[in-house]
Structure 1
């Protein structure tokens, strides 16, 4: 039986679950991820970088097509089991993979900030951003609405992740 709701919170919760739903194949490991969950309108998405057992790095993308779904559900009743999710996969070039691994190795050598969420600002309406990556000895996860200047430490990785999907996000 399909699930329906007239609550936007239930719809957003289901969309978050759907964009997080990456099926990894045997021997694949997530290297990094980036997600954006807009608070009002927009297209929630998540990008992951995955390395397989042969050392090939893939970029995978999942996004909820809100424009399509909201035109289907103009009466305010949402089908939680039929969200339209856009998916895409790209193989990183050897150059891109090498740059990614170089940036990650540089991050292993420095003291990373505990938090990159700027808490001294007032945000009335903003996206919730999540970014994480795997280092040899630890997993790093950040969440923010307004980032501190420390986000610049991660710009090369963030740019690499977003570059392939700029026409979608």
Structure 2
């Protein structure tokens, strides 16, 4: 039986899970995963790099157009999130740029204020996970890395 819900928190949780989980091979390890979801559920995608796929980014993109058209009555099918997957080839130079940025100090800036809408962003590198809601929270290194990831994955920044 499929899971149908009106709960947007349940939808957000399932979307985050499906975007960030990867089937890894026996000796394969994750280098990084970046996930971005609009707080108002306007978009969602993730970009990952693994140890066995140095030349490819794995991109998962939530098809929100399909989802809004099929479930406009406010009920969500948590088992059919319409997530498209693709691999994007990296040049040797792009891979080296990513590697350099991943090895730099990636932190969040402390900011004052409240974000009423915005982004849910999560970057996992090794055992370190950072989460933030707006671009101003990223330090320079983190900002450069995320901009490179978004650009290469052809995902336009929504805010």
TM value normalised by structure 1: 0.79
Aligned to 1:40: 40
Could you list the structure 1 runs, at least 4 aligned residues long, displaced by more than 6 angstroms after superposition.
none
Q: When the two structures are aligned, how many residues end up with a matched partner?
A: 157
Q: Alpha carbons of 1:78 and 1:150: their partners in 2 closer, same or farther (altered >3 Å)?
A: closer
- Structure 1: state its 5+ residue gaps: none
Q: What residue number does 1:8 align with?
A: 8
SS in 2 for 1:90: strand
Secondary structure, aligned partner of 2:139? helix
Q: Look up the match of 1:165.
A: 153
TM-score (norm 2): 0.83
**Which structure 2 residues correspond to residues 83-98 of structure 1 after superposition, within 5 A?**
83-98=81-96
Q: Which has the larger radius of gyration?
A: 1
- Paired residues of 2:5 and 2:75 also in contact (CA < 8 A): yes
Rounded to whole Å, the distance in 2 between the matches of 1:2 and 1:27 is 33
2:20 — aligned with what? 20
Distance 1:87-1:168 versus aligned 2 partners, 3 A rule: farther
* Structure 1 residues 122-142: Cα deviation after superposition (integer angstroms, max 9, x where no partner): 2121111112323xxxx3321
Relative to structure 1, is the Cα distance of residues 145 and 129 closer, same or farther in structure 2, using a 3 angstrom cutoff? same
Separation in 2, partners of 1:104, 1:167: 19
